[in-house]
Structure formats: structure tokens, C-alpha cells
Amino acid sequence: MNETNMTRIWNKHKQTNTPLKIKVFVAMSGGVDSSVAALLLKKQGYDLVGCYIKGWYPPGVVCGWREDRRDAMRVCAQLGIPFITVDAEKEYKKEVADYMLNEYKIGRTPNPDIMCNKSVKFGVFLKKALAMGADYIATGHYVRLKRNLKNYELAIAKDLNKDQSYFLWTLTQKQLKHCLFPLGDWLKLEVRGIAKKNGLSTAEKEESQGVCFIGEFNMEDFLKKYIKPKKGEVATAGGKIIGEHNGLAFYTIGQRHGFGFGGGEGGPYYIVEKDFKNNRLVVAEKKEEKKFNRKEVAAQNTNWISSVPEMGKKYLARIRYRQPLEECEIIKISKNSAKFVFENPQRAVTPGQSLVIYDKEEMLGGGVIVFKKKDIMQM
């Protein structure tokens, strides 16, 4: 616990003559992870409030938020802790949904979960929790929080298959000093076991998939409600026209066909480039795809959690969730951007996705992948 928080808690204790208990608002999604996070904290003696964060849900999209909220409420009843709903609809719509749409409109592929963490879970939720008297917030993320002599550090979780540090690269020292991550030192299998042993109602609940707070839905159908399709040619890397696309905004680099045409002469095809100038989607067969791999990758809107990485030093990085860590080096760095060179060329480097840097187990931070200006769709 940091000294500032401890001082505040102690002063409150002296002024009110109440038991010295640390108040934690737990983000309860209605899933097994956040349920066990709350259980572990309760057993450690924290004064808990279970919180369901209500986001924004696209019109016409079937979403199970009411069931999730009910599941979260049941667990709180089992644990004997208060339950509240935190309204983050306005913030989610502006900072996550609108951001996502704007990125797709200019031809990039955003990561809404990262923005959800930055602006909603560790943004509006943290702000509202502190305003209501919380000392900390806690979530069910699989990540480890450490404290060095000066700062907080985020490290890879014990469960390497569930590690979620990739999604938290935007967090700051100001946010982390009020955060707890109870699951960082547990395996998912162990978490399930704890839930079953303690009879939690979410013990057998399946993991949620899809976009943060919304879940699974057809992204292309959703985007077509806001982005007018602009058909164009699909061409091979050699320039042969083999089909038609519905609009560059609806496709992602690295995506395997799905264009309404087959591989034909050997396929399947993979998207390797978006030619915005000619409104053309460039594809290649697997054996040709490697020609479009990149060793140099640039990122903007960078954030470094504990310290700024050093140029010339070897680091590890990933450009998508669950990708094996790859060796890289920083060759250029400024206040808000950086350029990296990888030891091995990277497949499907995608503008809008995040490049996240690690020093052994410590997650240092990252940035949003960008190409040149010509690689942005003109509206």
C-alpha cells in the first residue's frame, strides 16, 4: 500500500474513531474472475463494495448485461457485501464506441478493450469510486502489480495463457496507486477451483468473449450502420483483380479471405495491404504473405508506466494479444512516439492495434501502431 493512501486511511480512522478498514470498490462483471477477486479480498479483511459498471450498448445488438448484472449481484449477496451499479454509459459511448468507429472510418483496426480499460474501468469508474470513499478499486485482470523504490510496475501474470498486461499499457502511476489485482498470482484453473470450493454462483459460468461490456456481436453489421460501404477491387500482390470488397473499413490486415471468393489458384488469400488511394484491397497467398512482413514498426500516443525505455537496449514486444513475445530494439523515441525494429519480421502489422513492450516480466508500456499518412483513408 502506498504511503499517501495509508496516511489518508489512518487520518479518517482517527477522525471518525471507526475500525481501521481499507475500502475497496470491486469491478464485478458477473464472471468468475471478478467474483473470485472479490472473495480473495474479503478473506484478506478489506471493506468491499461490489460494483457493476454499466456501459453503452449498440441499438439492435442483443446484449446480456442484465444477466451479467444479476450474476454479479448474486455473488455480492453470497459474500455479504453491498452492491451498486456505476453508470458509465456516456463515457463508454464517447471514449470507446465513438473512438472505435472513428478508427474504422479512417481504415485502422482499433482495440476497444484497451480504450475501455483506460477511459472506463480505470477512468470514470476509478474517479467515481474515489469520490464515494474508496481507497482502492480492484478488477479481475490477470496481471501483477509491483512496487519498486519509486514507482509501481505492472508485470506478466503467473498464468501466461491468461495474462492481460497487454490491455493495460495505457495506465499511469496516478491510476495504479489506487489499484489492486488479486488474480495476478493465480492460475485460471485455480480460480475456477476457488469459486467451486466456496460455492460461488458463477463458478461454472463460461468466459465472456467479444468487445468490453458488449460481448460478441457481428462487427461488420454494426459498422455498416455508421459507415457507408464503398465497394472496390480485390487484387493480388501481382496486380491481378480477383474479386470485389465491400469497403476497406470492414477488413483487417492479416485476415483470411471472407470476401465471397475462394483461393482459386492455390488460395486461401490473406489481406496484406489497404490501398486507400485506389480503394483496393491487396491480398496474397500464404507463401507470398511473408513479403509484406515488417521489421520496423512505429507507434504513437506512447505511454511508459514506470520509466522510459532506453534506445539500443534489447526488449521484448508483442503487436497483438497472446502473440509470443518477440525481441526488439527502440531505434527512435520522442515524447509521444517511438520506432521499433524487431529481430524477426512481424506478420500482419496492423495500424490501430497496440505495440506493447516488456523488459523480461515487466510490462513497460506501449503505443498505437501507425503507418504513413498515405495509409489513412481520406473521408
Other beta carbons within 10 angstroms of residue 98's beta carbon come to 14
How many alpha carbons lie under 13 Å from residue 161 in its C-beta half-sphere? 3
Catalytic pick from 51, 179, 212, 328? 212
> Which grid cell sits at 100?
472505435
Q: Which of 206, 277, 202, 268 is nearest to 236 (CA)?
A: 268
Angstrom CA distances, 154 to 126, 178, 364, stand at 18, 13, 7
Peptide bond into 112 cis (omega under 30): no
Active-site residue, selected from the candidate residues 51, 76, 116, 179 = 116
What CA dihedral angle connects 335, 337, 341 and 344, to 10 degrees? 130
Contact call for residues 109 and 219 (beta carbons, < 8 A): no
Distance of CA 337 to the CA centre of its chain: 20
CB atoms < 10 A from the CB of 150, how many?
Answer: 9
**Lookup: cell for 112:** 476497444
Query: How far is residue 246's CA from residue 331's CA, in Å, rounded to a whole number?
Result: 38
Whether 76 is catalytic is: no
Q: Is 328 among the residues known to form the active site?
A: no
Catalytic residues: 116, 212
